[in-house]
Structure 1
Amino acid sequence: SIKYALISERREDRIYGLAENLGSAEARIKGVTLGGEPLELSIPHADHAKALETLLARLANYNPQAIGHRVVHGGNLTKAELLTPEIVSRIEAATPLAPLHNPAHLIGIEATMRLFPELPQVAVFDTAFHQTMPEHAYRYALPQNLYTEHHVRRYGFHGTSHAYVTERASELAGAKNQGGWLSAHLGNGSSTCAVWNGQSLDTSMGMTPLEGVVMGTRSGDVDPSLHLFLASNLGWSIQKIDSMLNKESGLLGLSGLSNDMRTLVEASGNGHEGATLAIEVFCYRLAKSLSALSCGLPRLDGLVFTGGIGENSAYVREKTLAYLPHFGLQFSKEKNNALARGTEGRIDNGTGPQIWVVPTDEEGRIAKETRQVVEQLA
């Protein structure tokens, strides 16, 4: 799929949408026009490149000034960068670390550079926000040469989202980018992050987006010797094990039903044991991760939930917070239940650390960082 947004200079107006089911007869673009009208466009069998060309042709009428690309893995790049041949090479070099994502980003970059050769284009990296992690947080306890020669280390992801929601929550709390915050980005991909004075100090994802908490179809943390066990006893290849951990595990694997939290909450209410277990494991492992990350903070001022599950599931928020009484995280059931479908608000009862629900705005953050890079060129 391809997510897109065209955002005005002051981030007040936007056109946005999603190209989905690419490569199939059902390929389509769904979105919202500048006037707020729904848009649906059938593009049968279109691949990423064709979908991008269709999208960009429609958006060209609005005279875009710059293009920002979300890039999942930027290796050790520490900030958004103007796309030059050197930066494109750095993205290509990081492809072994994000084989599912970076090749698609490169297709998008090539297409936009071909269609808009005169526009400045900027790469905004998921990993860049986490480059402020101290070495004791990002190093694995492995032989040194794996790090020095092969760059085996923890990188972290969802940086654009964690940066946006912790900045927003701290601003709402009255001290923008000040103090200690825990962030839980919960969707089909999920991760947690510890942020101090606007800088990432630790995060749950590692060298790849498979490490960390339970996700929609990803396992999160497992014993590394599981690979050896499955290869030796079941004859599984490395590729089959990797596919299982990324595409057949998580909520889907535990429940045997679905990777969609809404489906699982409904099924659990109807007595589905697999769904009930999947939700419990998800919330427990999430609370465990937040507890662990808190070690990196001098103090805890607040917790912020975001992402599709974090923003919309009061049930998941409640179950997770129930595992964290020792942090003094006291919440109002009434306030918690009132927040869903993109609403922003505070759900704590006024004692202890603040608890916020903040809808993420990765596109807005990408637009902001893109503008900052372009302004530096002037």
Structure 2
Amino acid sequence: MSRPVTIALDAMGGDQGAAVVIPGAAIALERRPDLRFVIYGNETVVQPLLEAHPTLKAVSELHHTDVAVRMDDKPSQALRAGRYKSSMWRAIEAVKEKRAEVAVSAGNTGALMAMATFCLKRMANVDRPAIAALWPTLRGESVVLDVGATIGADAQHLVDLAVMGAALARIVFDIERPTVGLLNVGVEEIKGNEAVKEAGKRLREADIPFVDYRGFVEGDDLGKGTVDVVVTEGFSGNIALKTAEGTAKQIAHYLRAAMGRTLMARIGYLFAKGAFDALKEKMDPRRSNGGVFLGLDGVVIKSHGGTDALGFASAVELAYDMARHSLADTIRETIAQVHPSAVAEA
């Protein structure tokens, strides 16, 4: 039997808090029986939910916390008020102290990044952390980063993002040399701002063994799955992510309206229900829920704040995979190949 994997949970994070976190963890446990949990939250709220899931309760430790970071808290405010005693901080701290291998939270993204960076610290030679998302495509999935951790990027930061994204893709997709592209306004080498053009030049010339750099990609390549890893800075990455989520909801709304417009349309829907169900499953954001914080001395997974139990279970399963394949160690090793001094500084 494989060794257990311990995940730290911020039970109070997200729009619905423990009401989603605990059932989500129970679903993940059904799929991954070797999971173990360290749960941080208000025991008055969490304990009754654990009682309703005895299998989960048997493999969990519950630690009471009085403070919960609000979804509208500013990162600096959350860091001041919630450091050392909030459910979010305690879950991250469990990773730092090796009591858990990964922390998962559906809470305030800015606060989570601030606390994770403050608590875990950055890896050697990584200037800024990033958030990577698994993006549904026509070919399957791609890794897209950064989707909102930091705004703006110089050439070296984009190269580091490419390296970290490739390390994640090697684990998630089991590909030895993932294809990587830089998101740009065109595929021609003369297009784009100076940081993107310089990053492309460095990636071409570096010939990194585990990165198959394919040049610039455009916005429509995200959905096509042209490359395994799409690299951009956090401002444009977050806009792209929110645009894709909104477009998916828009298409779903159009389909529902069209299918109910006439009697013939409703009859046609019945005949095509299997195809529509397959489309709905493919576009379901819960299947790829979970952003991975990269570049820190520890792994943190950000679940969408408005997800349900199924979506949170996906984030926990992603955390499980990251722990199983030692993501932080893999990134540390790959960064060291690009920055040899990282070995001496670690």
| Fold agreement, TM-score > 0.5 | no
Q: TM-score, normalised by structure 2?
A: 0.29
Higher relative contact order (CA 8 A, sep 6+): 2
Normalising by structure 1, we get a TM-score of 0.28
